[in-house]
Amino acid sequence: MKSNLVVRIRWISVFVVLFATLLVVRLYVIQIVHGEAFSIRADRQYIRPSQDLFDRGSIFFEDKDGRLISAATLKMGFTIAINPSVLENPEDAYEKISPLIELEKEAFFLRAGKKEDPYEVIAERVEPEVARRVSDLNTAGVGVYKDRWRFYPGGTLGAQTIGFVAFNREDLLAGVYGIERYYNDILERDAGDVYVNFFAEIFTNLNKTIFERSKQRAGDIVTSIEPSVQLFLEDKLFSIQETWNSKLTAGVIINPQNGEIYAMGAYPAFDLNNFQIEENVSIYSNPSVENVYEMGSIIKPLTISAGLDSGAITATTTYYDRGFVELDGYTISNFDGKGRGRVDIQQVLSQSLNTGASFVVSQMGNDVFADYMKRFGIGEETGIDLPNESAGLVSNLDSPRDIEYATASFGQGIAMTPIATIRAMSVLANGGVLITPHVATKIKYRSGLSRSVSFNDGERVLKKSTSEEITRMLVKVVDEALLGGTVKFDRYSVAAKTGTAQIAYVEKRGYYDDRFFHSFFGYFPAYDPQFLIFLYTVEPKEVRYASQTLTRPFIDMVQFLINYYEIPPDR
């Protein structure tokens, strides 16, 4: 008998503990997770009937010390509306309200004339103090209602990367560009599900709230974007754009070891809080992810690394440079048309010799060269966590003609996105491994739990020794050749290469003589790099070479990052 009593007591105890645990979890969900929403709902005099206040997860930047900085959040304000059926004297209402809120007179009276409509908005996103003064007027037929909307504290900062919220094709508010779109299923919320009786909410729908998959997915996105680095990058992009009157200027700063993007920007940019004023919607797109370009001579390090890795050449291999090469009835020339005589492979990089890149392909063979280029991923999407990524245009790497492989060796005749190019360049920097570029690092779920965002890295493209050798050669480019060696860092090893490509005609074969795509990539500390910088500018005016437009901005960025992150010297 006593034994049965003990068993019953234990079962009752287990039930009580389980119930208490569920109750605590539910209280946590309501008071902490949904606390703000209930607080807003409590202020009933400002809530419209059947109103669901807009709700959405946040996006955060993360600074170098691990502090989260808001990139996308919610802002509270008020909507002013009129009820035309109750508004007895529209003229008097207009005279009272217009000194407080900027109203278009004709539009106001047009709305006031809709006597069958009980709700006509006359002003949105009104600041609390102004809303209070309107409310204090006590004008019959004028209502003041709480509202909430998406707000971007940085304004233009990281605009094409963050994206924004707008009405989609289903006439629902959703992310339509950038992180807002890619992680929409994490960020979106069902605002209406928290507006029920508080105590009823505690005891009902426990299973739905705790275990429902959609609620488990809802959360905030933490990114690797470092706000100070992003701001510095954008300042430099603006300066390049203004100095050379380019069509477009953009750049990315990435960790080549793990693919985390510290900064990604483009100019012209736009204000995320006023995106609707833009007339050309193409400004919303992220050119580093969506646009493809012929990259020019920054592809030469990929060509030479393939030659080194395959054993077709060494850094000391020489060839005779006549200044031009004839293939399939076409002539390939160096940028200045001049020959250098007998030179080694280092000079192909240091002097950016097209004939040298073509020579490397001839030594390894077209098929081997094409295989390496495809292993670098230049014709594929990278898998970056941003929408609308484009694949490269590399069909020339399947051509039977030698000329196509020769031109591809120095970045003409094949096109790729900047982000795919960055991924390929990271292989040179990190020991030979393909990474996945990404901006999100963590998801903070509404439950209070969080998880790191993981990506599939690790496919080996080059031997580690090849990565070290091409890095040594690119360091020599900076130390001795780039602007005549005047930008060398005495205490830091920096690897870099410029690229200048002619821009192709759209409607016919061939290239413009006066339109160029300038690019620049570099990484440091060269033998254990934490930063890879990629810059490009499209159609700069009255200037020919990327060394003229992008070298100084690159050097400034290196110096900034060294100082900001307090990077110790490596030589």
Query: For residue 23, what pLDDT is reported?
Result: 61
Q: What angle do CA 135, 98, 122 make, to 5 degrees?
A: 70
- The domain defined by 227-276+286-564 folds into Beta-lactamase (3.40.710)
> Where exactly are the structural domains of the chain?
46-194+204-223, 227-276+286-564
pLDDT score recorded for residue 191 = 52
pLDDT digits (tens, 9 = 90+) for 278-298: 999 999 999 999 999 999 999
Check residue 550 and give left, alpha or beta (phi > 0: left; psi -120 to 50: alpha).
alpha
pLDDT tens by residue, 233-249:
999 999 999 999 999 99
Greater model confidence, 40 or 325: 325
User: What is residue 389's DSSP assignment?
Assistant: P
Average pLDDT over residues 342-354: 96
- pLDDT at res. 362: 96
The answer on pLDDT for 45 being more than 50 is no
Q: What is the pLDDT of residue 168?
A: 80
Answer whether residue 194 shows pLDDT above 60. no
Condensed to tens digits (0 to 9), the pLDDT of residues 384-441 reads 999 999 999 999 999 999 999 999 999 999 999 999 999 999 999 999 999 999 999 9
Q: Is 467 helix (H, G, I), strand (E, B) or coil?
A: helix
| Residue 298 tokens, joined | 């920054």
Secondary structure element (H or E) that encloses residue 481, with its range: none
Nearest one of 191, 167, 187, 171 to 179, comparing CA atoms: 187
Q: Provide φ and ψ at 158, rounded to 5°.
A: 65, 30
pLDDT tens readout for residues 92-128? 999 999 999 999 989 999 998 998 888 999 999 999 9
β-partners of residue 248 are 538
Q: What is the share, in percent, of the chain residues with pLDDT greater than 70?
A: 86
Res 369: pLDDT: 97
The two three-digit tokens of residue 274, written as one number: 């006023």
- Mean pLDDT taken over the chain: 88
The CATH T-level fold of domain 46-194+204-223 is Penicillin-binding protein 2a (Domain 2) (3.90.1310)
Please give the share of the chain, as a percent, with pLDDT higher than 90.
74
Per-residue H/E/C for 294-349:
CCHHHHHHHHHHHHHHHCCCCCCCEEEECCEEEECCEEEECCCCCCCEEEEHHHHH
pLDDT for residue 195: 41
In this prediction, residue 528 has a pLDDT band, given cuts at 50, 70 and 90, of very high
Query: Across residues 3-22, what is the average pLDDT?
Result: 66
Of 57-66, 169-178, 524-533, which range is least confident? 169-178
Contact 145, 46 (CB under 8 A): yes
Strands (E), 185-317: 219-223, 248-254, 261-267
Give the C-alpha separation, 474 to 477, whole Å: 5
Query: How do 330-333 and 324-327 pair as beta strands?
Result: antiparallel
Q: pLDDT by residue (tens digit) across 451-463? A: 998 887 678 999 9
pLDDT for the residue numbered 35: 52
- Sequence-ordered list of residues with C-beta below 8 angstroms from that of 493, at least 6 positions apart, any chain: 475, 524, 525, 526, 527, 570, 571
- Which is more confidently placed, 200 or 379? 379
Highest mean predicted confidence (pLDDT) among 335-339, 368-372, 508-512: 368-372
Query: How high is the pLDDT of residue 267?
Result: 96
Burial 297-312 (b: 16+ CB within 10 A, else e): bbbbbbbbbbbbbbeb
Which range, of 54-63, 151-160, 449-458, averages the lowest pLDDT?
449-458
Check residues 208 and 462 and name the one with the higher pLDDT. 462
Residues 210, 213, 216, 221: what is their CA dihedral angle, to the nearest 10 degrees?
-160
Judge whether residue 20 has pLDDT over 90. no
CA distance 61 to 64: 10
